[in-house]
Amino acid sequence: MQKRNFAVIGHPIGHTMSPFIHKRLFELAGEKGDYTIFDVSPHELPEKITALNELGGYNITIPNKQAIIPYLDRLDKKAALYGSVNTVKNGSVREGFTTDPDGFLKALEAGNISFSGNIAIIGCGGAARTFLYEAALAGCHITLAARDVNKADFLAKEAVQKIPHADIKTCLISDLNGDFDLLANATPVGMYPHIDNMPVSEKALSKCRNVFDAIYNPLETVLIKKAKANGSNAVGGMSMLVWQAVAAHEIWDNSVYNISDINQLILDSAAEMKKIFY
């Protein structure tokens, strides 16, 4: 019989939107699927892997995205490029995927943001890496800005090794200057509870035609609000969070969704998040 239990694993894994979003996605697709939370740290993986193998599939969050790889039979192309897995499908083989890049690209597409031209990416962590690699693969001219330019240089060098045509300049966030087709924030600056903070100056923001903020709590950060007030097109991170979950269901069940149902789920997830955090 097909395995229909799914989960998210992470450590520590306090509040997570994953069960809410994935349960809805099973319902919308007309698929049976139970979805739970497992607190698993990397050093517990050897003893927990048998139980994880019994699931139909699972999502992986920090700090297990690399640690899970030795327990899988195969990685798909993007997971291999990133060296990171956030979704596993257990079938005749255990295959690892990363759906963050898909979630990011779908969020831009759904927000009518064309992914081309001059792009500024703020930050040097996991989300920045996703934005950077995808921008490089899309042939964008990239400025990678960080509070520590050495970290930006390190990440840029890594990207060029993997994607040799990548066109990347680096700078300090405070020196960010120029006309950008898209500014993508990949720092937690402006995230709950520090919701009055903004990762770039208003002057730098005023020259950006489109803005994407990875932050999904709050639904609209100050960065998004100010970008909209400037007349820019702006999309927040809840869209990416939901679209990366959609990509997991495409992998598990080949599920197909109606865009209006996903837009409603983005709004409902924001309302659910308010119940959890406020």
Helix (H) or strand (E) holding 21: helix 18-29
Task: Go through the chain and tell me how many residues it has.
Answer: 278
Closest CB to ligand NAP among 90 and 213?
A: 213
- Residues ≥6 apart with Cβ < 8 Å to 142: 119, 120, 121, 132, 135, 136, 166, 167, 168, 169
Q: Catalytic site residue 48?
A: no
Rule CB under 6 A: say whether 186 interacts with ligand NAP.
yes
Rule CB under 6 A: say whether 218 interacts with ligand NAP.
no
Which amino acid, one-letter code, is at 160?
A: V
Rule CB under 6 A: say whether 123 interacts with ligand NAP.
yes
228 three-state secondary structure: helix
Closest CB to ligand NAP among 52 and 128?
A: 128
Closest CB to ligand NAP among 90 and 187?
A: 187
Rule CB under 6 A: say whether 241 interacts with ligand NAP.
yes
Of 253, 255, 209, 201, give the one whose Cα is nearest residue 228. Answer: 209
Q: Which residues of 145-175 are buried (b: 16+ CB within 10 A; e: fewer)?
A: bbeebebbeebbeebeeebeebebebbebee
State the catalytic residue, choosing from 3, 32, 48, 65.
65
Q: Which residues of 178-209 are buried (b: 16+ CB within 10 A; e: fewer)?
A: eebbbbbbbbbbbbeeeeeebbbeeebbebbb
Candidates 33-41, 131-139, 236-244, 255-263; binding stretch for ligand NAP (CB under 6 A): 236-244
Rule CB under 6 A: say whether 124 interacts with ligand NAP.
yes
Candidates 34-42, 77-85, 125-133, 257-265; binding stretch for ligand NAP (CB under 6 A): 125-133
**Positions in 89-108 near ligand NAP (CB under 6 A):** 100, 103
- Cis peptide leading into 218, omega within 30 of 0? yes
- Cis peptide leading into 63, omega within 30 of 0? yes
For ligand NAP, the binding residue among 8, 113, 127, 204 (CB under 6 A) is 127
**Positions in 159-178 near ligand NAP (CB under 6 A):** 173
Rule CB under 6 A: say whether 244 interacts with ligand NAP.
yes
Which residues form the interface with ligand NAP (CB under 6 A)?
100, 103, 123-128, 146-148, 151, 173, 186-189, 191, 199, 214-216, 237, 240-241, 244
Annotated catalytic residues are 65
